[in-house]
A and B are shown apart, each in its own frame.
Chain A
Amino acid sequence: MSDAGGVSAAVLDVRGVVKTYRGAATPANDGIDLQVHAGEVFGLLGPNGAGKSTLVRQLAGLTRPDAGRIMLFGHDLAADARAAASFVAYLAQDEPALDELPVGLAVETTARLRGLPRGEARSATATLLDELDLGAVAARPVGRLSGGQRRLACVAAALAADRPVLLLDEPTTGLDPVARRSVWSAIDRRRAERGTTVVLVTHNVIEAETVLDRVAILDRGRVIACDTPGRLKARVSDDVRLDLVWRRTPPMHDPTVAALAPSARMDGLRWSVRLDAASARESLGRLMSGSTLDALDDFTLATSTLEDVYLALGGRDDDLERG
């Protein structure tokens, strides 16, 4: 994705958005502030329950905030949520409404409901199915496709009728690498040709680093950081991540192991420690040469990812995807 440094006007301006679901003890969104600019691919990254989907549903006009303001192309969605539907295409995590429709008709119906006349909707559908390589399954009901093809069909429906803003909630979940690439090509093409703005929910850090112009990292309903992936990683760039996998209970009597333990994130016999590059090299050297080597099954040394940024900024959950 290209650098979005040249874009300026805010398509979406979110200020102080708070949303608490009925019966919930804590708010799903707790004072969200962010701006999304024209032509940007903007990501919302965070673990499950961070409030990403709730925020996107509000941007799509499906839920009203309890407090705060969401301006979309100058329209206040808190006051008139229905205005969003004219500008936005929303892809939910699941689209059960399309399940029993043949793929072609699902896309065509969506295009018609976004205002395209029947003939135009039909030809736009044919183009889209070609673009996403869905032509062979055009006549099959969406619900009877494999998980990946089903997701791809829903992405096709979201792309129908070329909305200026795409709100995509985990669009590539379940897709194989080829389909994933064709989705990103289709989105990039729309951005290049029409200046389409994309807001993308993901909990996949690799995807976030490769396709996003800017990313807001959410944790427990709050934005804990918002910048380009490069700048965010620069905040913790001196650090590397040392991942250790033990064969058996780690030998705590070893001074290196004992020194790493307090700062390690432990998941059974898997340890993940963030530390500066020199200390990491030194620790690894000692582990490799000492008696601890027998207990060590595997190790990796990696530069910072957005997951490290998330953790360094105080993120408390641990279900971000690295694949």
Chain B
Amino acid sequence: MTETATAPPRVAPGAGRPGAIAAFSAVYTGQIARARVARGPLLFVASLQSLGILLLLRGVVHNDPVRTTSAIVAGSTVLVVAFVALNLLAQRFGALKASRALDYYGALPVTAAPVVLGTAASYATFTIPGAVLTCVVGIAMYGLSFAHVWLVVPVVVAAGVALSGLGAAMGLLAPRSELATVLGQLAMTAVLFLGVIPPAHLPAAARAAREVVPSMTAVDALAAGLRGSPTWWSVGWRLGVSVLWGIVGLVVAARAFRRACAR
């Protein structure tokens, strides 16, 4: 074999590159199968935690106005999403980064956004049964209106989008995987307290903090639905704000993903 001065053939890249939707679909399908194998017990725990909080607060709250009880049920429902989107997703991305598993995606012709979105969406999908169960049990337990119970589905989607970008970003930006786990846990705790405790019962500083937690507008939208006569433009606006938060989170997560891949 002799070294040759022949000019290398210039071949255009692009062939063998999936579109964003195809990449999202491939990642989503794979992650759904993966989560089915690995995450069942954790998702059970996520639902159990919310059901436990509902039960606990039922023992504390007596003859409270519907504004309080609807906030408790809506907050507990969104907590199922928060557990998965913040806690588990931050852990997952932290672990992927620490184990150099991101190299797998880094060597494939896909952009960061469909990978982050596909993984986040698969996690969010698994929260739907637990969130619906929590909501239905909460409505029955606190005597709220079943009329708009369907709202739980768009609320879970909006809260899932809002929080999963944040969870992914925390996992990817944390310098160590242990720190990613701690961050995810802290964020979930914040969502727990600020979401489950009705805003009127919070101190002023916590009420201000509540305004910047991405999933709180989704909590408020569901709480309005559970009270029986929501103002629909307001529900739409609140869900829209959640999704906007989510887009910001996903953009940050996608940038963090690219950075983590290019170490």
Flag whether B65 is at the interface (Cβ < 8 A). no
Contact assessment for B9 and A113 in the assembled complex, using a CB-CB cutoff below 8 Å? no
Interface string of A254-288 (1 = CB under 8 A from B): 00000000000000000000000000000000000
**Which chain B residue shows the least CB distance to A10?**
B8
Contact assessment for B13 and A97 in the assembled complex, using a CB-CB cutoff below 8 Å? no
Complex-state Cα separation, A227 to B13, whole angstroms: 30
8 Å CB contact of A83 from B13, B33, B96: B13
- Taking CB atoms, residues of chain A closer than 8 Å to B37 are 100, 102, 141
8 Å CB contact of A115 from B15, B29, B100, B262: B15
Flag whether B64 is at the interface (Cβ < 8 A). no
Flag whether A63 is at the interface (Cβ < 8 A). yes
**Which chain B residue shows the least CB distance to A93?**
B100
- Taking CB atoms, residues of chain A closer than 8 Å to B107 are 60-62, 84-85, 88-90, 92
Flag whether B11 is at the interface (Cβ < 8 A). yes
8 Å CB contact of B104 from A11, A84, A87, A98: A98
Complex-state Cα separation, A88 to B17, whole angstroms: 12
Q: Which of B71-128 contact A (CB under 8 A)?
A: 96, 99-110
Contact assessment for B34 and A9 in the assembled complex, using a CB-CB cutoff below 8 Å? no
Contact assessment for B8 and A13 in the assembled complex, using a CB-CB cutoff below 8 Å? yes
- Taking CB atoms, residues of chain B closer than 8 Å to A113 are 18, 23, 26-27, 105, 108-110
Flag whether B175 is at the interface (Cβ < 8 A). no
Complex-state Cα separation, A110 to B104, whole angstroms: 9
Flag whether B38 is at the interface (Cβ < 8 A). yes
With A73-B11, A113-B110 known as contacts, the answer to whether A101 contacts B4 (CB < 8 A) is no
Flag whether A29 is at the interface (Cβ < 8 A). no
Flag whether A81 is at the interface (Cβ < 8 A). yes
Complex-state Cα separation, A98 to B100, whole angstroms: 12
Complex-state Cα separation, A7 to B9, whole angstroms: 13
Flag whether B133 is at the interface (Cβ < 8 A). no
Q: Which of A98-114 contact B (CB under 8 A)?
A: 98, 100-102, 105-106, 109-110, 112-114
**B255 smallest CB distance to A (angstroms):** 15
Complex-state Cα separation, A86 to B30, whole angstroms: 21
Flag whether A133 is at the interface (Cβ < 8 A). no
8 Å CB contact of A10 from B6, B100, B106: B6
Complex-state Cα separation, A40 to B9, whole angstroms: 15
**B113 smallest CB distance to A (angstroms):** 13
**Which chain B residue shows the least CB distance to A40?**
B1
Complex-state Cα separation, A40 to B22, whole angstroms: 32
Contact assessment for B9 and A73 in the assembled complex, using a CB-CB cutoff below 8 Å? yes
8 Å CB contact of B4 from A9, A60, A62, A228: A9
Complex-state Cα separation, A12 to B4, whole angstroms: 12
Contact assessment for B10 and A74 in the assembled complex, using a CB-CB cutoff below 8 Å? yes
**A5 smallest CB distance to B (angstroms):** 6
Flag whether B59 is at the interface (Cβ < 8 A). no
Chain B contributes a number of interface residues (CB within 8 A of A) equal to 42
Q: Which of A205-239 contact B (CB under 8 A)?
A: 213-214, 227-228
- Taking CB atoms, residues of chain B closer than 8 Å to A102 are 33, 37
- Taking CB atoms, residues of chain B closer than 8 Å to A109 are 26-27, 29-30
- Taking CB atoms, residues of chain B closer than 8 Å to A94 are 99-100
8 Å CB contact of A5 from B1, B16, B34: B1
Flag whether A8 is at the interface (Cβ < 8 A). yes
**B218 smallest CB distance to A (angstroms):** 29
With A113-B18, A115-B18 known as contacts, the answer to whether A95 contacts B33 (CB < 8 A) is no
Contact assessment for B38 and A100 in the assembled complex, using a CB-CB cutoff below 8 Å? yes
Flag whether A52 is at the interface (Cβ < 8 A). no
- Taking CB atoms, residues of chain A closer than 8 Å to B263 are 63
8 Å CB contact of A37 from B4, B18, B26, B33: B4
Complex-state Cα separation, A177 to B6, whole angstroms: 38
**Which chain A residue shows the least CB distance to B33?**
A105
Q: Which of A288-306 contact B (CB under 8 A)?
A: none
Contact assessment for B34 and A62 in the assembled complex, using a CB-CB cutoff below 8 Å? no
Complex-state Cα separation, A33 to B1, whole angstroms: 16
**Which chain A residue shows the least CB distance to B38?**
A100
Flag whether A134 is at the interface (Cβ < 8 A). no
Flag whether A203 is at the interface (Cβ < 8 A). no
Contact assessment for A85 and B4 in the assembled complex, using a CB-CB cutoff below 8 Å? no
**A237 smallest CB distance to B (angstroms):** 18
Q: Which of B177-210 contact A (CB under 8 A)?
A: none
Q: Which of B34-66 contact A (CB under 8 A)?
A: 34, 37-38
Flag whether B244 is at the interface (Cβ < 8 A). no
Complex-state Cα separation, A125 to B11, whole angstroms: 26
- Taking CB atoms, residues of chain A closer than 8 Å to B4 are 8-10, 35, 37
Complex-state Cα separation, A12 to B18, whole angstroms: 24
Flag whether B213 is at the interface (Cβ < 8 A). no
Interface string of B237-258 (1 = CB under 8 A from A): 0000000000000000000000
Can you name 29 A-B pairs with beta carbons within 8 Å? A9-B4, A12-B8, A61-B106, A62-B106, A62-B107, A63-B263, A64-B262, A72-B8, A74-B8, A86-B17, A86-B109, A89-B107, A92-B100, A92-B104, A100-B37, A100-B38, A101-B33, A105-B33, A109-B27, A113-B18, A113-B108, A114-B18, A115-B18, A117-B22, A118-B26, A141-B37, A161-B16, A163-B16, A227-B1
Residues of A whose CB lies within 8 Å of any CB of B are 4-5, 7-13, 35, 37, 40, 57, 60-64, 71-75, 81-90, 92, 94-98, 100-102, 105-106, 109-110, 112-118, 141, 161, 163-164, 213-214, 227-228
Shortest 3 CB-CB contacts between residues of A and residues of B: A74-B10, A86-B13, A97-B104
